[in-house]
Amino acid sequence: MTDTPAAHPTDPFAPEALNAAEGLHPVDPAYAKVLRIATALNLIPLAIGASVFDALLIRHIEGPYGLITALAWLIAIVTIVSFPSRRVSRWGYKIGDGQLRVARGWLFRTDTIVPFVRVQHIDVGQGPIERWFGLSHLIVHTSGTHNSTVTLPGLPSDLAAAMRETIRRHIQTDFA
Amino acid sequence: MTDAAALAAPEDETRWQRLHPATLALAIVALGPKSLNFLPAVAALGFTGNWLWIVPAVGAFLLISLLAAWFQWLRFRFLVGDDEVVIESGVFARQHRTIPFDRIQDVGIEQGLVARAFGIAKVGFETGAGGKENDASLNAIALDAAQALRTTIRAHRSGEAAAAVAAGAPDTAVPAPDDRLLFVMRPGRLLTAGLFNFSLAALAVVGAAMQFFDGLLPFDFNIFNPMDWIDIAESYGLDQWLLAHRWVAGIGAALSLLLIGFASGVAMMVFANWDFRLTREPRALRRTRGLTTRTDVAVPVKRVQAAILITGWFRRCFGWHELRLQSLASDGEKERDHQVVPFGKLAEIDPVLDEIAIARPGAEAAWQHSHRIVALGGLIGAVCAATGGLVAVSFGQPLGWLGPVAGLLIGAGSLFGARFHRWTDLGEQVAIRRGIWKPKTTLLPHASVQSIDLKSDFILRPLGLATLVFGVPGGSSLASHEIPAIPAATAQALRARILAARARR
pLDDT of A6 over the 50 cut: no
pLDDT of B416 over the 90 cut: no
pLDDT reported for residue A176: 42
E strands, B143-216, in order: 180-185
Give the whole-angstrom CA distance, residue B59 versus residue B61: 5
Contacts of A145 in chain B (CB under 8 A): 471-477, 480
Instruction: Give the model's confidence band at B140: pLDDT under 50 very low, under 70 low, under 90 confident, else very high.
Output: confident
Give the whole-angstrom CA distance, residue B253 versus residue A47: 60
Q: Please, which residues 16-75 of chain A have a Cβ atom closer than 8 Å to chain B?
A: none
Q: Is B455 touching A (CB cutoff 8 A)?
A: yes
Contacts of B477 in chain A (CB under 8 A): 145-146
Q: Are A119 and A171 in contact (CB under 8 A)?
A: yes
| Alpha-carbon dihedral angle through residues B420, B421, B425, B426, given to the nearest 10 degrees | 40
pLDDT reported for residue B294: 83
Contacts of B456 in chain A (CB under 8 A): 109
E strands, B301-390, in order: 304-310, 320-327, 338-345, 368-369
pLDDT reported for residue A9: 43
From A33-37, B181-185, B234-238, B357-361, the region with the lowest mean pLDDT: B234-238
Contact A118 B461 (CB under 8 A): no
pLDDT reported for residue B213: 57
pLDDT reported for residue B2: 40
Bigger pLDDT: B341 vs B93: B341
pLDDT reported for residue B313: 84
How large is the average pLDDT for residues A105-123?
A: 87
Bridge partners (DSSP) of residue B498 are none
Per residue in B14-42, pLDDT (tens digit) is 678 888 888 887 877 777 766 676 777 77
* Exposure class string for B211-248: b at 16+ Cβ within 10 A, else e: eeeeeeeeeeebeeeeeeeeeeeeeeeeeeeeeeeeee
Q: Is A175 touching B (CB cutoff 8 A)?
A: no
Per residue in B312-335, pLDDT (tens digit) is 888 888 889 999 888 776 555 456
Q: Is B480 touching A (CB cutoff 8 A)?
A: yes
Instruction: Give the model's confidence band at B174: pLDDT under 50 very low, under 70 low, under 90 confident, else very high.
Output: very low
pLDDT reported for residue A156: 94
Contact B450 A147 (CB under 8 A): yes
Per residue in B341-380, pLDDT (tens digit) is 989 898 899 989 988 888 888 878 888 888 888 888 889 9
Instruction: Give the model's confidence band at B221: pLDDT under 50 very low, under 70 low, under 90 confident, else very high.
Output: low
Q: What percent of chain A has pLDDT over 90?
A: 40
Contact B470 A144 (CB under 8 A): yes
pLDDT reported for residue A93: 92
pLDDT of A149 over the 80 cut: yes
From B124-128, B193-197, B456-460, the region with the lowest mean pLDDT: B124-128
pLDDT of B220 over the 60 cut: no
* Residue in A99, A145, A148 nearest the CB of B499: A99
Give the whole-angstrom CA distance, residue B326 versus residue A144: 12
pLDDT reported for residue B303: 79
Instruction: Give the model's confidence band at B163: pLDDT under 50 very low, under 70 low, under 90 confident, else very high.
Output: very low
Q: Is B299 touching A (CB cutoff 8 A)?
A: no
* Exposure class string for B180-193: b at 16+ Cβ within 10 A, else e: eebbebeeebbebb
From A31-40, B3-12, B59-68, the region with the lowest mean pLDDT: B3-12
E strands, B368-479, in order: 368-369, 422-425, 429-434, 440-445, 451-457, 465-471
Q: Are B452 and B495 in contact (CB under 8 A)?
A: yes
Instruction: Give the model's confidence band at B424: pLDDT under 50 very low, under 70 low, under 90 confident, else very high.
Output: very high
Q: Is B463 touching A (CB cutoff 8 A)?
A: no
Give the whole-angstrom CA distance, residue B287 versus residue B267: 20
Give the whole-angstrom CA distance, residue B430 versus residue B361: 9
Q: Are B239 and B230 in contact (CB under 8 A)?
A: yes
Mean per-residue pLDDT of chain A? 83
pLDDT reported for residue B380: 92
pLDDT of B460 over the 50 cut: yes
Q: What share of chain A is helix, strand, coil (3-state, %, to 5)?
A: 50, 25, 25
How large is the average pLDDT for residues B147-171?
A: 60
pLDDT of A94 over the 70 cut: yes
pLDDT of B446 over the 50 cut: yes
How large is the average pLDDT for residues B400-419?
A: 87
Per residue in A41-86, pLDDT (tens digit) is 999 999 999 998 888 887 778 777 888 889 999 999 999 998 898 8
pLDDT of B172 over the 50 cut: no
Contact B451 A118 (CB under 8 A): yes
* Residue in B454, B495, B503 nearest the CB of A117: B503
How large is the average pLDDT for residues B36-64?
A: 77
Bigger pLDDT: A139 vs B176: A139
Give the whole-angstrom CA distance, residue B108 versus residue B296: 6
Bigger pLDDT: A158 vs B241: A158
- Scanning every residue of chain A, which has its alpha carbon at the shortest distance from the alpha carbon of B128? A143
Per residue in B268-318, pLDDT (tens digit) is 888 888 889 998 887 788 888 888 888 888 788 887 888 989 888 888 888
How large is the average pLDDT for residues B444-468?
A: 89
Give the whole-angstrom CA distance, residue B342 versus residue B355: 17
Contacts of A107 in chain B (CB under 8 A): 457-458
pLDDT reported for residue B170: 38
Mean per-residue pLDDT of chain B? 78
From B116-125, B371-380, B411-420, B475-484, the region with the lowest mean pLDDT: B475-484
pLDDT reported for residue A15: 54
pLDDT of A10 over the 70 cut: no
End-to-end CA distance of chain A: 28
Instruction: Give the model's confidence band at B176: pLDDT under 50 very low, under 70 low, under 90 confident, else very high.
Output: very low
Could you give the count of Cα atoms lying within 13 Å of A155 in the half-sphere of its Cβ?
A: 25
Rounded to two decimals, what is the model's pTM? 0.73
Q: Please, which residues 104-133 of chain A have a Cβ atom closer than 8 Å to chain B?
A: 107-115, 117-118
E strands, A10-161, in order: 25-26, 92-96, 99-104, 108-115, 119-125, 135-142, 149-156
Instruction: Give the model's confidence band at B10: pLDDT under 50 very low, under 70 low, under 90 confident, else very high.
Output: very low
Bridge partners (DSSP) of residue B184 are B277
pLDDT of B415 over the 70 cut: yes
pLDDT reported for residue B362: 81
Bigger pLDDT: B277 vs B502: B277
